[in-house]
Every structure is written in C-alpha cells, then in structure tokens.
Structure 1
Amino acid sequence: MDERKRKVSLRIWILIIVPTTVFITFIFLCYYLIKRKPKKSNKSLLRENFGKESLTLEPLQFNLATLKAATNNFSEQNRIGKGGFGEVYKGILLDGQHVAVKMLSKNSTQGAKEFKNEVSVIAKLQHRNLVTFIGFCLEEQTKILIYEYVSNKSLDYFLFDSQLSKLLSWTERYNIIKGIARGIFYLHELSRLKVIHRDLKPSNVLLDENMIPKISDFGLAKIVEINQDQVNTNKIVGTFGYMPPEYAMFGQFSEKLDVFSFGVMVLEIITGKKNLSSHKPHVPEGLLSYVWRQWRDQTWLDILDPNIKENYSEFEVTKCIQIGLLCVQQNPDVRPTMTDVLSYFSSYFNELPSSQEPAFFLNERSNPTIFPQESNINQPINNCIPFSTNKMSVSEFLPR
C-alpha cells in the first residue's frame, strides 16, 4: 500500500515539476532571444528620422557613452535647467569644450517632432547671435541636442528679477536689443533658408560671458520659401504675449510674426516688465497699451526700468521705444522688416515712421484663465477664441 502511494506521489510531482520546468525554460529562452535581437545602428536610425539629410548630419552625431562621460552620467550636480521638452545638463567633452546637453523626455511626442525640426533647422545656421549647435545623439529611445555652453543663462533670468536686473545697464540692454535684431535679420534674410523662429521671447535668448545675446530653441521654427510672403497653419504653437493677432487668431504667419515678438521684447527690455500682466490685479493695462499711452502723451521716459534711470541715452531709448511700437502694430503690413529695423539702428539721422496704436489683443480684457502667463501652446486654430480688441486707429501728431 505504501509503495503504491509513493508511486502515485512521484507521478504527481513529475506532472507538476516537468511542465513547470519546461515553461520556465521557454520564458527564459524567449527573453534571451528578445535581448539578442540586434539593435538598430545609429546610421539606420539617422536615415529613418532624417531621410536624405542623414548624410550631411552624420558628422554631427554623438554616441550616448560620450555624453554620459561628459555629464557624469547625467548627474543631478550637472543639471542646469529644463528646456521646452527635456532637461539640460552641463558637460565637458573629451577635447575640453564646455557644452549644454539637452535630453529629450522619452514620453514627449511633441518633443520628438521638435527634436527633428531643431536638428534639421539649426544645423544649417551659423551666426554670432544664434546659439552654436554642436551636435546630437540618436540611439533607440534617446534623443539629445548638444549646444555651446552659454554661461549667463537667459535674458529673462536677469530682466524680470528685481536684483539681477540692476546688473543690466542701458548700454548692455541696447547692445542686447541690437544683437537680437541682427540674429533675426540673419534668419530672415542672410541664411541659405528663410527661417521664421515662431517662439522668440527673453527665455529663448541666452547671454554669454560678454552679455552677447544668442537666440536659441528652434524646435518650433519654420523654413519657408525665400519669396513666400505668408503661410497658413491650422495649429498654433508658441507663447502667448509674443504672438501677433493674425497668427493667434487666424493661423497666418510670415516673418512679421518674429518682428512682432521682437517688438514685445524691446519694450520688455526697456521697461523691465513682462507683456502679460493680467494675473496682477493692480496693473490697469497690458504692457503694449501702457507704453503706447506714455508715447502718445509724450511722457515715454516714464516707462524706463527704474534701475537704468540714472544713466542712459535719451536718444537711444526714444529710438528703441519707437522701433518697439512700430514692430507691434496691429497690421502686419505696417510693421517694418528686420532690414528696416537694422537701418533704423545704424543711421543717427534716420527719421522713423510714425507709429500708430499697437495690437492690444492681450491685455487686461483677456481672461487670465484662458491665457496664462507666458504659457506655451500647441492647439488647433479652431479652438482659438478671438481676443483682439477692434479699435479704430486715429492719426495724431506724435514725436518721432
């Protein structure tokens, strides 16, 4: 009887152990085969993402191991900020060059599109007032952009800080304004391609150790035909407060979009105030409206940032205010080109056109819950709410 029980028990154990062993072996075999699956080479990934451009981009490609070594394995100590679609680390390459390494978040679908767009655009550009593109890394799910390291962070870091703004003299502000203008002029007129940045703002202007401005973040930039005057889009991307009304409302854009953004930045640099002030109940109007009223009332020097009121050139300040107002006109056809803007700066005796009432489409009448402070947007045009104030322009005799 005991012998029979032992045989039955043995059969049961065999029936349990053998299938289990086979199953576990099968699982491990599958895992091994999956792990053994050859990874795509860097060249094939490059071709998949950039097509014909891959040949010209190949010399700019870095491997991940090099960047891990440069950033101490992307350590927290090397982390210097967060960009539009990922974290930014400071790194040192093997040749001793200091770089900023921008790692794309793996969960960002829009970021992947911006990565390809940025590599395609900025790899073709080179100018003193654009951030220098060093290269990129593309390995499986990892996407990284590498730029020159710019030590003084971004313009907004200084401009909108009550203490740091004291470090920006009028001379530095004036040179920053002219440097940004030269960078945009290059994008519109001098590069092999006509590039519309579409997201110009102080946080996308970096300052080097000599406070020379460098335009950065080309993830939303658009390449257009040299002779193309206007482009239509059904998707609005960019930052509220720096968009002209024709783009924010109807999806129409041209180089005059960047001109408008430049005008807003000029007025922000002069005043030390952000264009969007709707979140502050004590601010009676938006920046463009405020500057226009002071200009109309011939009290334009009252808008100056208090930190520079002791030492400035009245001629330069007046010229910059007028250029800023010309750039933010409601009608894009009335706004100057960047060629015009540079001519205004270069000539001491040039008489500037009279500016009219600017676009007031983002002032206190906008609902702050719909248009948050400096919010980046990416939405279909049919979701946009018209928020332009329809006012008649009245011609007046104003100081030039």
Structure 2
Amino acid sequence: MNSLDIRHELPYIPFGPFKIRLPFFHYKIEKVEFIQGLVLGVTGLSSVPYLMEYLGLPYELAWSCVIIDVFLYILHGFLGDPVVPGWITPTLPLTIIYLQGYEMGPERIQAMIALQILVGIVFIFMGITKMADRFVHVIPNSIKGGILLAAPITVMSGQLGEGQSFSKYPISIIAGVGLLLLISFSDKYQELRKNSKFLDLIAKYGNLFPYLLAMVVGLVMKEIATPVVTGENMIKLPEFSNIISQISIFGVGVPSFRYFIDALPLALVCYVIAFGDFITSETLIKEASEARKDEIIDFNSSRSNLVSGIRNIILGILAPFPPLSGPLWVGMTVSVSMRYKEGKAAMRSLLGGMASFRLATFFSVICVPVVMFFKPLFPVGASITLIFQAFVCARIGMDYCKTDRDKMIAGVMAAVLAVRGSAWALGVGIALNILLSNIEVSKD
C-alpha cells in the first residue's frame, strides 16, 4: 500500500465530545490562510454599526464587543470543529425587527441577551440530543420559505427608507453589491474567471474586493470620509470594565422570564435557518476528504452545534451580538476547502487552514491602524452585507416552495414576519398549512 493512501488524523487532546488542538503543537499555521485572515478579518467590523444603531453602544464599546465575537471564532479550531465559523447572517433583519419592539437602553439589551442565550441553548440541546434533523424536517417547506423570504422585505424596506444608508451612500452601495452579486451568481463571470487569474483572484477573496470597490467609489464620489490613521496605539484591548457595567448580564441585569418567552419563536426560527449550515459543512468536508487520501477529517454536526451554542451563550452573558453566532462562513469554508484539495503541498491539514484563518482575523480586528483605515466604510459594508444576504435568502426561500400552496403561504407569512415578528408569523404559517391541508413535512 502506498504511504500516501494511509490516512492520519491530527493529534489532539481528548475532552469529552471535543478534540482540543493548539497551534504549533497540534497543527502548523497555514501561511496563505493566515494572510487572507489578516486582510479579510476587517469585514467582521461591519457589525459595529448594528451594535451602535440597534443597541445604542458608543463606537469604542461596539468595537470591543466585536473583538470578543471574533476571538470566540477560534473555539471551533481549538475544540476540533473543521469549519470557518461566522454569523447567522440571514437572521439579522429578523433580529433587528425584534429589537425595535423594545425601548432603547437596558430593556433592548436585555431582549438581545434573552434571544442570544436561547439560541445558544437550542444549539446545545440539539447537539446533545442529536434531534436537529428531526426538528428541522418536521417543519413544512412553506414555513421555511416564509422565514427566508421575510429577509428581502425587511432589508430592502429598511435600506430604502428615508434617512437610511442607501440614501446616504447610494453609489458606493450599488458598486459594492453589484460586484458581489456578479462574482457570486453570474454564469458569464464564472466562465471568464477560468481564463483570468485576476478575475479568479477577485472571486476567491469573496467580500474583500466588493468592499474595496465601494470604498474607492465612495471616496471619489465623496460619499464617505477619507480614512485618518493615527499612530497613537497599535493594539486595541477590549474595554472589559465598560462591557461588564453597560452591556453584560451583570450590568443590565438578568432578563425576566417574559423576555425569554418573547424571544423563543425567533430563537427557533434562527435555528431553522442555521441548520442549513450544518448540512453545507458536512458536504464540503466530505468532498474535501474524498479529494485527499492522507488525512482523517472528523466533522461532527453535534460537536459543531455544541461549539456554536457555547459561543452564543458566552456572548449573551458578556456582549450580546445582533448577528448571532453561526456555525459557518460559507464563502471562506469553500475557499479553504478548494485549496486543501490541491494537495498536501498546498495545505497540510484542513483544520489547520480553517483555524489559521480565524486566528488571523482576531489579529486583524485588534490592529488599530487597519481598523481606522476601514472605519469610514463600516456603514456601507453593513449595507452590502445585508442587501447581498437579501438576494441569497430570496433564492433559498423560493427553492423551499415546491407547490403553489407553499408559495402562497410563504409569501403571506413573510409579510407578517416582516411587519409583526416571528410569533405572529409562525402562528399564521401553521394555521394556513392546516387550513389548506398543506401539512406534508419536508423529506429532505
């Protein structure tokens, strides 16, 4: 037997369902992924405007919360989950609607704490019981479609409203979203990139070039301010004292039972949306494993559920985070997996590549000069992220609707969710499915 056909697993320290791995000891840093992380890590700061606008945090405190969020990404590689984690991005518009039902200040922060802790509990429950498949498959396709179709409605109504981001940065946003849609969904672009290293490079780096194009256009059109980089500090340390006193559960107090009851429907909706990421992760890891015969890659959806749940609960207690903590950044997981398939000379281990990327993103968000350079772009970047996600959710939501009745129910449910929230939408969706005898559940 050829030695290359013998699979080996990275060394690890066993710890219950987890496999603890430390950089340099259990895996080597992958330089290409680390460099990508240093560049792309700044995209995580596009969440700063959400913390400022919807939780009322000052800029420095919002930045501190993002640092904690990005640091927690490292948990996946540390605990043996071979993915590049990210936000539960499609839920962000729904979370914003939910938060707007509470008065700005401690009340709204408590509402966010309740939601994030509940989302974490659902992840952990599903990881321990392994009930995720049964839970998601019992939900009719029309309800899944309605949940996802609500995102385009809420996003576009918010972005196009008077005084909102699109009215302030229209050309920058159009440029960024246009390029991101082009490299993501254009068949013609995919054909051209096969024969162009430059076009291929733009596509491989995902959000980076659309963000840079938006920044250049914004500067030329004077929609955004010129970056100002000072040399006062090189590293940003989180403001832990302010976090504890102003936004953590220790400062604003434990939410009452009512908050958890109000957040429960949305928490379940968030899990339904996030579940697709586990399926995607498993598929990508399986494809990568089949392409290489030298490494055992252990992806376990229960472990991934547990790690995602731990991240959400930690953030819910310390620094509630509206985008929530999801199990997958699809674009970067695909990018790392594709390079892994090129062979051991390109990447020694898949988990090493994933973990190297996320380690670098942490260094990126604490590097003051990098953050200051991109700071004027944050509101535009947030809009690009939301609008692009609206397109993605519209496509996936429509895919779920297999019949005319699915389409009718999903459309009405999406409108109710956008206007009245998750509890009303779930009630309407269930009632319409019963009324129209559309109760056959998904067999996917």
- TM-score after normalising by structure 2: 0.23
Q: Which has the higher helix share?
A: 2
- TM-score after normalising by structure 1: 0.25
Greater relative contact order (Cα 8 A, min sep 6): structure 1 or 2? Answer: 2
Q: Which has the higher strand share?
A: 1
